[in-house]
Chains A and B, each alone.
Chain A
Amino acid sequence: MVTLLRRSLCPVRRLRGRPRPAVDAPLRTASHAGPGLLYPDHIPTSLLQKTLLAAGSAAMALYNPYRHDMVAVLGETTGHRTLKALRDQMRRDPEGAQILQERPRIALSTLDLGKLQSLPEDTFGRQYLRFLDVNRVSPDTRAPTRFVDDEELAYVIQRYREVHDMLHTLLGMPTNILGEIVVKWFEAVQTGLPMCILGALFGPIRLSAQSLQVLVSELIPWAVQSGRRAPCLLNVYYERRWEQPLWALREELGITPPPTDLRGLD
């Protein structure tokens, strides 16, 4: 049983030159990729293309917030250095290293929905399923990584995206714009990804005054505090924690329940 050590801060910025482990993570994806491609959906891009993509996707995401694919593209094109730091960070943690080796994916095909539904009401697994139902989202709507030019980093960002729904569940945030912004603030503190920081800073532009007020006065301080207190949430092997009661998991990770009820806002 892996015990999760508490850390005060996710040491995102400390880059240590650590040698690769002797047994590389299974490159099962490389066998299906075409020539020159590192993984099946890989689209190699030049620096100019990445720059244009980053700028274009940022503008489009602001213009049309329903273009989630643009947020994803922004994350992929701007996150290279941060992803490396996150990956090294995962390698240092025992649970994180296991995730990197086993490469679990969260998709409807890999989740045992029947088992999740049969779990008691207060467990993490049941609450996660409830979150998916109430907000009418599915783990399969996440676009695959395309513009990251390193196969392991592509997995790291894919894992970050798939874990996003877990964060919603842990933080108790709905999937409306306000809830997404709060989760972005949390993620920005946790991961340091430029896309999260940009989303956290510019997302509120589209909010109503009332929501903005609640956001700034209560939600952001709470999200930032929780983010700093919690260990790196990419290191949690969520698939092994379905039976854990939600309050226990929250306590373990240092996440307090949300300060206000978000229903009726935005």
Chain B
Amino acid sequence: MAALGSPALWSAPGRGWSRARLAGRLPGLGSSWPRGPIGVRLLSQEKPAAETHFGFETVSEQEKGGKVYQVFESVAKKYDVMNDMMSLGIHRLWKDLLLWRMHPLPGTQLLDVAGGTGDIAFRFLKYIQAQYKGKQKKQLRAQQNLSWEEIAQKYQSDEDPLGGSRVMVCDINKEMLKVGKKKAQAQGYKTGLAWVLGDAEELPFDDDKFDVYTIAFGIRNVTHIDRALQEAHRVLKPGGRFLCLEFSQVNNPLISRLYDLYSFQVIPVLGEVIAGDWKSYQYLVESIRKFPPQEDFKEMIEDAGFQKVTYESLTSGIVAIHSGFKL
């Protein structure tokens, strides 16, 4: 096994967790560069091809993006069905809880990254609309002596039912966005919604633009999680909130055993039977195991500059909601 030079050669920014997991091999350079007698690699100007994980497999960082893209391209059409099958519908509760924690007020500008099929975006719009309707009802109840003309007028007023709230759904994968757009049409969401193709590590937005940034079940697929967190910090307005819903570490050993059994034995089988795709679902369950546990991820978020970082474990830690503020 080739001996590594000190990690300082690769100046890992912060506590870049993905760097700490690099394998010890240096592909492509082994034969051309001479080695010293103790096997230490001589200094070179070129950075070696860094490696990272793709599920339990080790791949180069350039490859990972492409492979993840292919996974989501192939699962896009059955994404929602499979989510329901794999989590037995519980993922809906998790996403609802994320919205309740967010508690958006009318006028919120939301950026939903890796939001492909639009689950969070639609829930956001429904939440705002429900709030607006609730407010309307309250107002009317408070004014008991209105004539019917005044009441009809109130209902006909064309103030924006969303109160200026807007959600931008950003995803790196075209297929996922396509499915999301179709869903939006089918469910009748027209206003306040925008679909953007973009990379979480390099968002196509200006600084200080959004009130809330969410990423639900997406950040574990990003090659450089630290970069995605830094981008999140950049595009949020001061006072803005970062929310991440992601699979995390189970804290109960018995449930952990059952969860592992279910993940590795049942989920790929479900993927094969329902979607005809074993390997994508094998990748999905492996990528969950590779994601840092709650505390470590909290530190990564703090490294990116967020403050008041907290997390909440759901369903014994199967998922966790991390929250941080840009102050």
Contact = CB atoms under 8 A, between A and B. Distances in A.
B272 interface: yes
A216 B274 CA distance: 32
A146 B278 contact: yes
Interface string A138-174: 0000000010000000000000000000000000000
Contacts of A43: 278-279
A257 interface: no
A52 B269 contact: yes
Contacts of B268: 49
B75 to A, nearest CB: 16
Nearest to A48: B265
A43 B274 CA distance: 17
Interface in A29-78: 43, 46, 48-49, 52-53, 56-57, 59-60, 67, 69-70, 73
Contacts of B274: 60
A56 B278 contact: no
B14 to A, nearest CB: 34
Given A43-B278, A146-B278, A49 B273 contact: no
Contacts of A53: 269, 272-273
Contacts of B270: 56
A52 B276 contact: no
B327 interface: no
B266 A52 contact: yes
Interface residues of A, number: 15
A60 B273 contact: yes
A52 B265 contact: yes
A67 B269 contact: no
Nearest to B57: A34
Contacts of B269: 49, 52-53, 56
Given A56-B270, A60-B273, A46 B265 contact: yes
Contacts of B273: 53, 56-57, 59-60, 70, 73
Contacts of A59: 273
Interface string B252-280: 00000000000001101110111010110
Contacts of A52: 265-266, 269
A57 B276 CA distance: 10
A73 B265 CA distance: 16
Nearest to B282: A43
Interface in B126-181: none
Contacts of B266: 52
A59 B265 CA distance: 18
B123 to A, nearest CB: 31
Contacts of B278: 43, 146
Nearest to B269: A52
Nearest to B279: A43
Contacts of A73: 272-273
Contacts of B272: 53, 56-57, 73
A69 to B, nearest CB: 5
Contacts of A70: 273
Q: Which of B265, B268, B272, B279 has the most CB of A within 10 A?
A: B272
A64 to B, nearest CB: 10
Nearest to B270: A56
Contact of B276 (A48, A49, A67): A67
Nearest to B278: A43
Contacts of A146: 278
B184 to A, nearest CB: 28
A49 B264 CA distance: 9
A85 to B, nearest CB: 26
A52 B264 CA distance: 12
A53 B265 CA distance: 10
Contacts of B276: 67, 69
A128 B265 CA distance: 41
B221 to A, nearest CB: 22
A56 B268 CA distance: 12
A43 B283 CA distance: 13
Nearest to A143: B276
Interface string B229-267: 000000000000000000000000000000000000110
A73 B272 CA distance: 9
Nearest to A34: B57
A51 to B, nearest CB: 9
A60 B266 CA distance: 16
Interface in B269-309: 269-270, 272-274, 276, 278-279
A21 B270 CA distance: 40
A145 to B, nearest CB: 13
Interface string A95-118: 000000000000000000000000
Contacts of A57: 272-273
20 contacts: A43-B278, A46-B265, A48-B265, A49-B268, A49-B269, A52-B265, A52-B266, A52-B269, A53-B272, A56-B269, A56-B270, A56-B272, A56-B273, A57-B272, A59-B273, A60-B273, A67-B276, A70-B273, A73-B272, A73-B273
Given A56-B273, A73-B273, 9 more contacts: A49-B268, A52-B265, A53-B273, A56-B269, A56-B270, A56-B272, A60-B274, A67-B276, A69-B276
- Minimum-distance CB pairs A-B, first 8: A56-B273, A52-B269, A60-B273, A48-B265, A53-B269, A49-B265, A69-B276, A49-B269
Interface of A: 43, 46, 48-49, 52-53, 56-57, 59-60, 67, 69-70, 73, 146
